[in-house]
Structure 1
Amino acid sequence: MMKPKISIVTLGVDDLDRATRFYGEGLGLPRYDFEGGNISFFSLEGTWLALYPREDLAKDIGLPVSTQPVFSGITLAHNVASKSEVDEVLGQAVAAGGKLIKSAQEAFWGGYSGYFQDPERHYWEVAYNPYQDLT
């Protein structure tokens, strides 16, 4: 039976070095090197983030590589403990080379959130959820 958790989120990237710098140096995620592989791992609370060349990931799955940058229907989310922290993280992502997609604003569900896109075109929501205690 499958347990309700996600162990690793792997993002296919076109430029592994650029993506690794964005997440490691730009966002300050703790990086763990994997010897013998063309992959970067970052330790997150409760899961791992992996960066892997898009072509290699498609080959591993058995899919053709898409050259069209399309919205996949998937976003990643990072919840923080306050509205001001949402603005800080969005600013940090932009300063690191990300693109602000949607400025932070009050959300219909009672929180506060905004979106950025990393240099590899993956979308991230940064949100404050007043119903979740992150302290």
Structure 2
Amino acid sequence: MPGPLRLSLVTLGVEDLGRSTAFYEALGLKRSAASTDDVSFFDVGGAILSLYGRAALASDAGLDEAGEGFRPQALAWNLPSSAAVDKAIVRMVAAGGRLVKPAEKTGWGGYVGYVADPDGHLWEIACNPGFPLDADGRARLPK
């Protein structure tokens, strides 16, 4: 067995690497020295965020380049409070993101909004009382 499944790296296929790199740097991420002209890497607290050309990513996977529109996934940024969610949404929009859905209270007791990055990748910005944050701000599943 190779060991337990762990999410170690998320690669987003992007149209313009420079624009997308600038967006994530405007959010306070620092581009790793492992980055090249073709890919940007960022430490996102226990995992790695990778930005790679969309066509190159499709080619690497042996697929035709994906079409435009909804992507059936969302990245999530869990925060400790509704106020922190509101501030994060403002920060992401100021950095060049697009507000998709303003934050609101949910039926399950959370507070959630959505922002798309410059390539339309959805970010769910949430305060989820069911997934407590540890001292490092990482969401933890209940036991």
TM-score (ref. length: structure 1): 0.92
1:71 shift after superposition: 1.2
Report the identity percentage: 45
Q: Which amino acid aligns with 1:42?
A: F
Residue equivalent to 2:77: 78
**Is 1:91 aligned with 2:90?**
yes
Residue equivalent to 1:42: 42
**2:35 and 2:41 in contact (8 A); partners too:** no
1:59 shift after superposition: 0.7
- The Cα offsets for residues 82-114 of structure 1, whole Å up to 9 and x where unpaired, read as 110000000000001100000000012211010
SS, match of residue 31 in structure 1? coil
Aligned counterparts, 1:98-113, within 5 A = 98-113=97-112
In structure 2, list runs of 5 or more residues that go unmatched: 136-143
1:70 shift after superposition: 2.1
1:132 shift after superposition: 3.2
SS, match of residue 84 in structure 2? helix
Residue equivalent to 2:114: 115
Structure-2 change in CA distance of 1:43 and 1:35 (3 Å): closer
What is the rounded CA distance, in whole Å, between the counterparts of 2:36 and 2:23 in structure 1? 22
Q: Which amino acid aligns with 1:87?
A: D
RMSD: 1.4
1:37 shift after superposition: 5.2
Q: Which amino acid aligns with 1:48?
A: I
1:61 shift after superposition: 0.4
Residue equivalent to 2:140: none
What is the rounded CA distance, in whole Å, between the counterparts of 1:82 and 1:100 in structure 2? 19
Q: Which runs of 4 or more aligned residues in structure 1 lie more than 4 Å from their structure 2 counterparts after TM superposition?
A: none
Q: Which amino acid aligns with 1:49?
A: L
1:35 shift after superposition: 5.5
**Is 1:130 aligned with 2:102?**
no
More strand by percentage: 1
The number of residues matched between the two structures is: 133
Residue equivalent to 1:11: 12
1:29 shift after superposition: 1.3
